[in-house]
Structure 1
Amino acid sequence: MTVVCILADPPRPGVVFETLAETSPLSESETAELYDAILRDMLIAVDRSGGDLLVNYRSDDALPEKYVDSNESAATTVGTVVSETLDDPSVARVEVQVGSTFAGRVGNTVTHLLRDEGAQSVAVIEPTTPFLLRSTIDTAAMQLRSNEVVLGPSAGGRVYYAGFTEAIDFTDAFETPAIETLTDRASAASYDVAFLDSQPTIKHDSDLATVIANIRARWHAERVVPKHTAEFIIDTGLYATSEDGLPRIVRD
C-alpha cells in the first residue's frame, strides 16, 4: 500500500490561502472554511482508497505567533477535523511535521517512511486540490509499482501529487516550476517518472474560479463532486465569470 500523507496546516484565518482573501470575494474566515472543506474531502478520498492515511500537521511552534491559538493547539484543531470527518478516525495517523521549509518537511516525511518504516511507496498531497478523488489516488498507486516517482501536474508548474518509492534530493525540490524541478531530481538519480492527468490546485483567485466552474458544472449534471467543497461553494454563493477575458469570482 502507498502511505498517502496529507500535509495540513490548521485551518485558521490568515494561515491558509493567504492571498485569496485579498484577491477574491472571500474573507479570511471564509478561506479558512474552504481549506477545511477541501481537507475533509481529501480525508474521505484517501480513506476510501487503497492507501494508508497519514495526516502531518504544522505545529504551533512552526506558525507565526499571531496565528497561535492559546485555547486550542494546532494538533487539536487538525485532530478534530479528522475525528469529525472519518467514520473510523483510528485509520488515520496524525503526526507533527518536521522541517523548517515545505521541501524539508516533505523530504523528512518521505525519507522516514521509506527508510525507517519500510513503506513501499509514499505520496504527499496538500488540501488545495478538491478533485483528488479515490480513483486518482489508486491510479497513482498502480503507477508507483513500476516507477520510482509519480507526479500530478497542475497550473503554473505546480504539482498536486508527488509519490515516491525512492527518496530524491529534496533540497529546494519544489522550486517553481515544481513539476520540472522534481522531475530533474528524479532523473538525476536515474529514476523513472510517470505523470497523472492534470488537475487544478487552488492558490490564486483564477485557480478558485476554475474549481468553482467545474464543481457547479458537475453539480448541475448530477456527477460526483467533492462533497464538502461543493457545499461550501454553493452555500457561499460563489460563481465563476470572466472580465476582459480573465477568470473572475462573483457571489450572489
Structure 2
Amino acid sequence: MTHLKIDRPRRMTLEGVAAVRSFTARGRIQVIGTDDDDVTLDVSEIDRHPISVQHRDGLLFLGHHGTGRQHVAKGRLRHRPSQHAVIYLAVPRHCHLDLWSVSADVLVGDSRGDVQVHNGEGGTTLNQLSGAVEVETSSGHVDAINLSGDVEIRSVSGTVALYATPRRTRALKLSSVSGDISVCLSETADARVHLESVNGRVSSQFRGIVPVRMPGHHKAKGDFGSGSASIWASSVSGRVVLLNGDNLEKTEGTRIAD
C-alpha cells in the first residue's frame, strides 16, 4: 500500500492501478489513457494545501486533504481556502475513472474504461472515449467529442456540447435545467432522436427531425437510418439544438419547434 502527501511539485510512477478516484477543489486535472501498464502522476502546481495519494488493491485515490465525495456533492468546499493544484495523470487505457471536482477543469482523453465526472463550476472536456461515460455538473460547461460508448450528461446551468457518430445499441442522454444543449451529428448517423425543452427553443439542421406539437412543450423527433441507437436531449428552459456536422457553416440552424 502507498500512502503519502504531496506538498510541492512532484512526478512519480505507480504500478498495478486499475481504477482512479480523485477529489480536487480548484485548478485542473488531466487524465490521458496510454498503452503503458504503469500510471504516471505529475503534480506541476500546488498551493499550501497538500494532495493525499493512496494506492491499495488496484485503486489509486488522490485528492485535497479533507475533500471527499460528500463534500463535493453538497458544495461544502465553496468557502474554503483556494486548495489549488494542477495534476496530470497518464493511465492504462482500460482504467476506470471516477473524478470529483468543486471548480477545477477536468480533461479526459484516449480512454477505453468507464468514466464518471462530478463537477461543480469547472469545465469538463472529453475526447476519444469508448467506455460508458457519465457526467454530472452544476454550472461548468461540458464539451464531448468522439465518444463511442453510452453517454449520460446531466447539467444544471452549464452548457453541453456533444459531437457524436452514434453506433448501434448506443444511448446518448443529455439533460439540463437552464443550460443550452447542442448535439452535432453526421448525416450517416444511425439513431432515433428526441429533442425537448419546456421553455427554450428547439431547432435542427436536419429535415428528418420534425416538430411535435404539444401544449407547454417544444419537441422534435425523427430517425436516422434504422434508428437503432438513441439520442435524447432535454432541458427545462435551455435551448436544444441539433447540428449537421457535415455542413457546419449553417451555424444558426432552422427553427422547427416553438
> Which range, TM-score by smaller chain?
under 0.3
Higher helix share: 1
Task: Give the TM-score normalised by structure 2.
Answer: 0.24
Higher strand share: 2
Task: Give the TM-score normalised by structure 1.
Answer: 0.24
Structure with bigger gyration radius: 2
